[in-house]
Structure 1
Amino acid sequence: MKIARFIVVAFLCIILILQTGCWDQKLFEEIGFILQLGIEESPDNSILLSVTYPIVEHNTEEKVQFMSMNSEKLVRASRERMRNISGKYLQGGKIQQIYFSKGISHKGINEFLEVFFRDPENPLLANVVVVDGSPKEMMEMSTKFKDKPIPAFYVNNLLMDARRRGAVPETRIYDFCIMYYSKTIDPVTPLVRYTKKNIEIVGSALFSGDKMVGQLDIEQTIILNALLGEQKDIHYTYYGQTPSKSTGNIKRGASMSIRDIKRKIKIDTSGDVPVINISTNFAALIDEYTLKDNLYKPEIKKMLQDNIARSIKSEMQKLIKYMQGVGSDPIGIGELIRSKYNKYWKSIEWKEVYKHSVFNIDVKVNIESYGTLK
């Protein structure tokens, strides 16, 4: 029995020794993991590509290497040219953000995303971001921020926090491509600007297909997220008509957190143009209240809720009118019509019909908590 066991063990050891394999060895020190990619037009109408990647050498104080190159070729071909001068084997598998200038976004950005969803090495989880200015200038400046983390991680933190507050949409490469190829939902991306000291989230960029056609500030983006029915911890401040009038230059009103959003959409296609009825119901918590009226009086509470609902409704109507004007449908009304009324969908040119569609908005606000102080 022991002899048989010994023979089996010896046989297995021989097999393991004789087995051959391959190991695609990649030394971290020899690779430049691209973390950010910027794309814009240069003054001579060629494409200007910029990248940053971390420096791992111990004998330098710099944390990030910045490179930029003019190119009339494809994104992948330009990366190959960058390898010739970088001293690193540049790879795109760790890209965190891909930045587009406004100028190039107005002309269309899908062609620059081709390499990302065709090559499995490139990450589809990279954030798509529009820059108000030059991506090259922003990326180069951010490498000199002494009080900030590595630029890619700094921007990631900004985007994560803004998404939690509903201040920007979450748009990764795969999100953008899905919406673009669906032809029924238009993409929305974060919009940022920069100074010599920081990078700032300023709102979102609206697209029609893959072309940028408009932009929203943070407050408008929050309203858009409400129309989308996104369950975010949305913060809303009301300054409009209130039971008490504001005095002097000091604004008085109510600041609240909206914790629960219920949204319903009903569409009527029986008329000349579609009629879209959107009803929303908000559950709110009062965070700050600077009016003199007693919120615990039922009539004051009811008046405040109605006033806030009218204010939100007005902002939603203005936003929808603006999106119709620029031809962007991020709510996905086209997708709802395509899926529920396919025969009607096939008989129309949606981009034109969308601009003349009728939207009816209904908003209800229920204040569930006044805070700990009465």
Structure 2
Amino acid sequence: MRTLPKAAAFLLVIVLVTGCGDQRILEKQGFIQSTGYDLNETKNNEEDNRLMITVDIPKADPEQRMQRETLTTIAHSSKEAKILFAGQTELSLVSGQLRSTLFGLSLAKRGIWQHIDTLVRDPAISQRVKIVVVNGRAHDLLVRDYPQHPRAGQYIDRMLEKESTSMNIPLVTIYDFTRDYFDDGIEPIAPIIRESKKNISFDGVALFKKDRYITKIDAKQSLIFSMMKHNFKKGEVSMELGDGSKKQERLLFSSIINDRDVKVKRSAKGKFNIQINIVVKGSVLEYSGIHEISKDEDRKKIEKLMAEYVEREAAALMETMQKHNVDSLGIGKNIRNSMSYEEWKKLDWDKVYSNADIRISTRIVIKDFGKFK
């Protein structure tokens, strides 16, 4: 009978010792949450193939004053940087908790695939890691202290998650970028963020040609871009209606349900005619103008003005994408699906796309306009 309490006490000691061992190991781990890549800038602006790589590491010990640690080094690759980082910290760095990877604009213009390829090959890194372009240097954004947001990496990750749920920005992961990089008939995109005076703000949508940054879509047009690219629910957009006269009408269109469809026709001469049909349903909770939104007749006029606004903005975006020859909407995939594989391989889509006849048609439906009648 006495052996049972002794055995229980022995097991309790083992559990306590093991628990203490795990705690010490955890405190020695440096879980990288965000990584920033920039071109290495030399004093004489000489060509340098090395990178400035920055990592943001949250502190596991709540008793420490600093809630994070940032490390920066100059290296040829992220794996080389990891070795160099070992000499800058007492922590053992691991990448299993990586949430976002930031690329400075100068590096994005040169191409980022070789760096994404390294992330794809690492079994410790999730395919859900977010890809972000920084209008400026990723280093400056990561090392800065934001008083209201002690952990910059966590701040960036949560901001991207929140804004993407309302369709204000695209949420692009390693998987998404890699898929569009290798796929025919579509080019990758990524959100752009920038450093403001007191915080970090969304700066638009980066449009790539393969892995090189080409141009961007302004943040105010990002929801219109989403309407052209895919179906979605949620989101809101502010519209200024009219033809530029003094009596402008403004409204906030929210709770959006977007339905986008692409029709492809080919003429006898082989020319492609692409029609993008957009049907948008939503609620108007804020309106200022000359019409009575509660009247059916006036509401139809407002819906027409809203459709004209979307078509006008969408046409401008389409012109920009064709001008820079970036098929960010994936229209080439619709072309590819309308023909045989042999025909598609013979088609020079890059050349055809820039001169293709692409038109946008929009229909707006106001589901409701609030509780007030």
Question: Which TM-score bucket, shorter chain as reference?
Answer: 0.7 to 0.9
Residues 135 and 203, structure 2, Cα contact 8 Å, conserved in 1: no
Name the counterpart of 1:64.
68
Find the aligned partners of 1:184 and 1:254 in 2 and give their Cα distance: 36
TM-score by length of 1: 0.87
Report how far residue 149 of structure 1 moved.
Answer: 4.5
Report how far residue 273 of structure 1 moved.
Answer: 3.0
In the TM superposition, what whole-angstrom CA distance separates every residue of 1:3-53 from its partner, at most 9, and x where no partner exists? xxxxxxxxxxxxxxxxxxxxxx79111111111100011213221100011
Residue 280 of structure 1 is aligned with which of 278, 281, 287? 278
- Number of residue pairs matched by the alignment: 344
Q: Does 1:54 align with 2:55?
A: no
1:192-207 equivalence runs, <5 A? 192-207=193-208
Residue 264 of structure 1 is aligned with which of 261, 284, 304? 261
Q: Which amino acid aligns with 1:130?
A: V
Gaps of 5+ in 1: 1-24
1:1-374 equivalence runs, <5 A? 27-44=25-42, 45=48, 46-57=50-61, 60-71=64-75, 73-141=76-144, 144-241=145-242, 246=246, 252-270=249-267, 271-342=269-340, 343-374=342-373
Report how far residue 58 of structure 1 moved.
Answer: 5.4
Q: Which amino acid aligns with 2:70?
A: F
Find the aligned partners of 1:331 and 1:81 in 2 and give their Cα distance: 40
Report how far residue 183 of structure 1 moved.
Answer: 3.5
Find the aligned partners of 2:337 and 2:178 in 1 and give their Cα distance: 19
Report how far residue 289 of structure 1 moved.
Answer: 1.3
Q: Which amino acid aligns with 1:228?
A: K
Q: Residue 333 of structure 2: SS of its match in structure 1?
A: helix
In the TM superposition, what whole-angstrom CA distance separates every residue of 1:224-281 from its partner, at most 9, and x where no partner exists? 1101233131212221218x9756xxx6422211522222211123344321111111
Q: Residue 360 of structure 2: SS of its match in structure 1?
A: strand
Find the aligned partners of 2:286 and 2:197 in 1 and give their Cα distance: 34
Find the aligned partners of 2:259 and 2:361 in 1 and give their Cα distance: 12
Find the aligned partners of 1:104 and 1:176 in 2 and give their Cα distance: 16
Q: Which amino acid aligns with 1:107?
A: R
Find the aligned partners of 1:89 and 1:273 in 2 and give their Cα distance: 59
Q: Residue 232 of structure 2: SS of its match in structure 1?
A: coil
Q: Which amino acid aligns with 1:156?
A: D
User: Which has the higher mean CA deviation after the structures are superposed, 327-336 or 288-297?
Assistant: 288-297
Identity of aligned residues (%): 22
Report how far residue 81 of structure 1 moved.
Answer: 1.7
Residues 158 and 201, structure 1, Cα contact 8 Å, conserved in 2: no
Q: Which amino acid aligns with 1:323?
A: M
Find the aligned partners of 2:296 and 2:58 in 1 and give their Cα distance: 59
Q: Residue 239 of structure 1: SS of its match in structure 2?
A: strand
Q: Which amino acid aligns with 2:256?
A: R
Find the aligned partners of 1:319 and 1:258 in 2 and give their Cα distance: 23
Residues 192 and 202, structure 2, Cα contact 8 Å, conserved in 1: yes
Q: Where has structure 1 moved over 6 Å in runs of 4 or more?
A: none
User: Which has the higher mean CA deviation after the structures are superposed, 334-343 or 313-322?
Assistant: 334-343
Residues 179 and 186, structure 1, Cα contact 8 Å, conserved in 2: yes
Find the aligned partners of 2:26 and 2:271 in 1 and give their Cα distance: 59
Q: Residue 334 of structure 1: SS of its match in structure 2?
A: helix
In the TM superposition, what whole-angstrom CA distance separates every residue of 1:266-299 from its partner, at most 9, and x where no partner exists? 1123344321111111112111111242223333
For residues 165 and 368 of structure 1, do their structure 2 counterparts lie closer, same or farther at Cα, with a shift above 3 Å needed?
Answer: same
Q: Residue 148 of structure 2: SS of its match in structure 1?
A: coil
For residues 338 and 245 of structure 1, do their structure 2 counterparts lie closer, same or farther at Cα, with a shift above 3 Å needed?
Answer: closer
Gaps of 5+ in 2: 1-21, 43-47
CA RMSD of aligned residues (A): 2.0
Residues 261 and 280, structure 1, Cα contact 8 Å, conserved in 2: yes
Find the aligned partners of 2:317 and 2:290 in 1 and give their Cα distance: 31
Residues 207 and 213, structure 1, Cα contact 8 Å, conserved in 2: yes
Residues 33 and 54, structure 1, Cα contact 8 Å, conserved in 2: yes
Q: Which amino acid aligns with 2:132?
A: V
Residues 213 and 327, structure 1, Cα contact 8 Å, conserved in 2: no
In the TM superposition, what whole-angstrom CA distance separates every residue of 1:207-234 from its partner, at most 9, and x where no partner exists? 1111111111222211111012331312
Q: Residue 190 of structure 1: SS of its match in structure 2?
A: strand
For residues 196 and 63 of structure 1, do their structure 2 counterparts lie closer, same or farther at Cα, with a shift above 3 Å needed?
Answer: farther
TM-score by length of 2: 0.87
Q: Which amino acid aligns with 1:276?
A: I
